[in-house]
Structure 1
């Protein structure tokens, strides 16, 4: 009968353990550890998905490429989609000259050229539009939930994030009237300049006087909060700084009023929240930010 000696058995088990650990490590690469002070603010950029499915990373140097592509596609049929991931903002011109700004984690889908009597796009997230006036070719924006905004031209801001169950759809008209058609309703609602429409999930739409400074603060690089619940505050910071926010215990019952410069590092941004008396723990290998009372 073959027998293992004690030293040989120990060596064999140790070798097997090391081999398994190495295999496991190869399958799950270790992420570099970063500190909270290392988390920089987001930057300018987006991803273009072309009509043929190919993608292109967009930055300040790729604007001319995008513009030339749209000029050469004057008679083409198909759609582009521009998407900003977490930590990115972007702006571009549509084929009709309308100007679009995308906040972090947002998108716009538009045709290579506006043919026919209508100009149609689809958006998600935070989007500000300056639509070139054209009464002969109305501009339609399809939102998450298949709601629609229609206008002949003008400037308006859309808040249409779907990353939370209780996300409220908000549309702010700045300098012209528009019509909002809510899915499942026959008659559209008219929204006049200086008004804001809010549509909570499963509830009726309400219209109130808009606060343009708050609605457009993100476009100026400012987080603007007015008695904003903590969960919404942290959700906005998470999108811009590309972190995941978790609450190991319950979500602290806090509201915040104030502004934060989005050019600050995350550590500096959290210092502005000091009056809320919260504790933050950052796990850099997973970009995980834990929030405690």
Structure 2
């Protein structure tokens, strides 16, 4: 039993590791490259085989039409909208700061829960204030990037809100009797299809591959696989530990993104900023308090 929980804790922690490395590789791919929609589509294509293999291994369970539509809606909100916003933020303000801005999704999620009738305690309030303080500290100066871009900051905050909404929609589908693993696959597939449709309507689906420099294609595909592995690790950990443990551990994401992006500044244009690391630790602590 001890080993089972120890492994589950490692897997839960690896969720934040995978997502933090994902942010770093997206930063490499988007550094000086503004067409975030192309990167979103390519990253989703890269992660799809991983999600498909995991779903087939665990088993796909078809739910009711309403449940499937909710999962599909969650996917559209999360990927074509949320991931695009996140990638725009990463390209403008760097992986470290964008990842920290994304941690506000925990605060958004908490307030969505309050609107749905959940109680709000002292720890939740303190945790929220810590996360908001971490963002305020991070954006108060350059924080590891050569300039602060208001658009990039706003896009990061919007991405956090969209991801929180996606989680809330998927949670509603779970409450209605949906299967989380199958739901994740439906959400991923719907997000991929909608993103591909958007690219086709723009008339540049083949242009996406030609325009993206070969040097960065590898980073995009690695990022897509890392994001898919992060989602899978989260579901495996949730089966043993529950959301109150997995979500805070996942919030090491901005710390990982800041350290790796700062270490490899040659490829990211970021520096290892102490202020950003302190902000990441504050956000991590706030996430723990919210789920106490």
Q: TM-score range by the shorter chain?
A: under 0.3
Scaled by the length of structure 1, what TM-score is found?
A: 0.20
Pick the structure with greater CA Rg.
1
Greater strand share, structure number? 1
